[in-house]
A and B are shown apart, each in its own frame.
Chain A
Amino acid sequence: EAGVTQSPTHLIKTRGQQATLRCSPISGHTSVYWYQQALGLGLQFLLWYDEGEERNRGNFPPRFSGRQFPNYSSELNVNALELEDSALYLCASSLLGVQETQYFGPGTRLLVL
């Protein structure tokens, strides 16, 4: 069974541009989560989607947004990129439920110049 996949693996943008990151969950999982892993800051929760709806949001500005499609895949959009947005962005998926384990993809490394 395929795990969580993310694309692209690497992305280079310049300040002010927009970045779009994509995630495909494990088959049967309806929940998708996005995390930012910046150097020295650990993993920070960004967004949670389930059944096409945004269910929860971390402490990030509105220029971080996303959506979930009917096939449960998800996009993370980062507008007006800033240098400090450079990080590894991890996507995870799970079944719906607070006790459900989150399974992570390999990540997209975003570099903002």
Chain B
Amino acid sequence: AQSVTQPDIHITVSEGASLELRCNYSYGATPYLFWYVQSPGQGLQLLLKYFSGDTLVQGIKGFEAEFKRSQSSFNLRKPSVHWSDAAEYFCAVGANTGNQFYFGTGTSLTVIP
């Protein structure tokens, strides 16, 4: 069965520090992978996606993610975090059939000055 694991429920980083949010997936076929961000009281905004090709994908707001098939991972990174990055981050895998997305439980990011 498809599943997504985000091992870190909550992460705190200092403004200007680097960030890595972990995502591991379980899926039998080639996955379609996504990272979304949710600010308080808001819906989900797409940060980036991976379908095929280059395993390092660039997204909006300076985020990038690397697909590692051998590790079944799709970790999100940012070299220098801004206070406005404080939000909930969700990793998702898209199924090949049924158009269903499977989401992780999210990682809450706090940025301290």
A101 on interface, CB distance cutoff 8 Å: yes
**Chain B interface residue bracket vs A:** 20 to 34
- Which of A56, A90, A96, A104 is within 8 Å of B98, CB to CB? A56
Distance in angstroms between the alpha carbons of A59 and B103 in the assembled complex: 14
Please report B residues at the A interface, Cβ cutoff 8 Å.
32, 34, 36, 41-46, 49, 51, 90, 92, 94-106
The total of Cβ contacts below 8 Å across the A-B interface reads: 61
Distance in angstroms between the alpha carbons of A28 and B90 in the assembled complex: 26
* Residue contact B90 to A98, C-beta cutoff 8 Å: no
Please list 9 pairs of residues, one from A and one from B, whose beta carbons are closer than 8 Å in the complex, sorted by A's number. A33-B99, A40-B105, A42-B90, A43-B92, A50-B99, A55-B98, A98-B32, A98-B97, A99-B51
* Residue contact B34 to A105, C-beta cutoff 8 Å: no
Which 6 residue pairs are nearest across A and B when measured between Cβ atoms? A42-B105, A56-B98, A104-B44, A43-B103, A104-B43, A106-B43
- Which of B46, B51, B98, B106 is within 8 Å of A103, CB to CB? B46
A45 on interface, CB distance cutoff 8 Å: yes
* Residue contact A106 to B90, C-beta cutoff 8 Å: no
Closest A residue to B102 by CB, please name it.
A45
Residues in A with CB closer than 8 Å to B92 are: 43
> Known pairs A42-B105, A42-B106, A96-B99. 10 more at Cβ < 8 A?
A40-B105, A45-B101, A48-B98, A48-B100, A55-B99, A90-B44, A97-B99, A98-B99, A99-B51, A99-B94
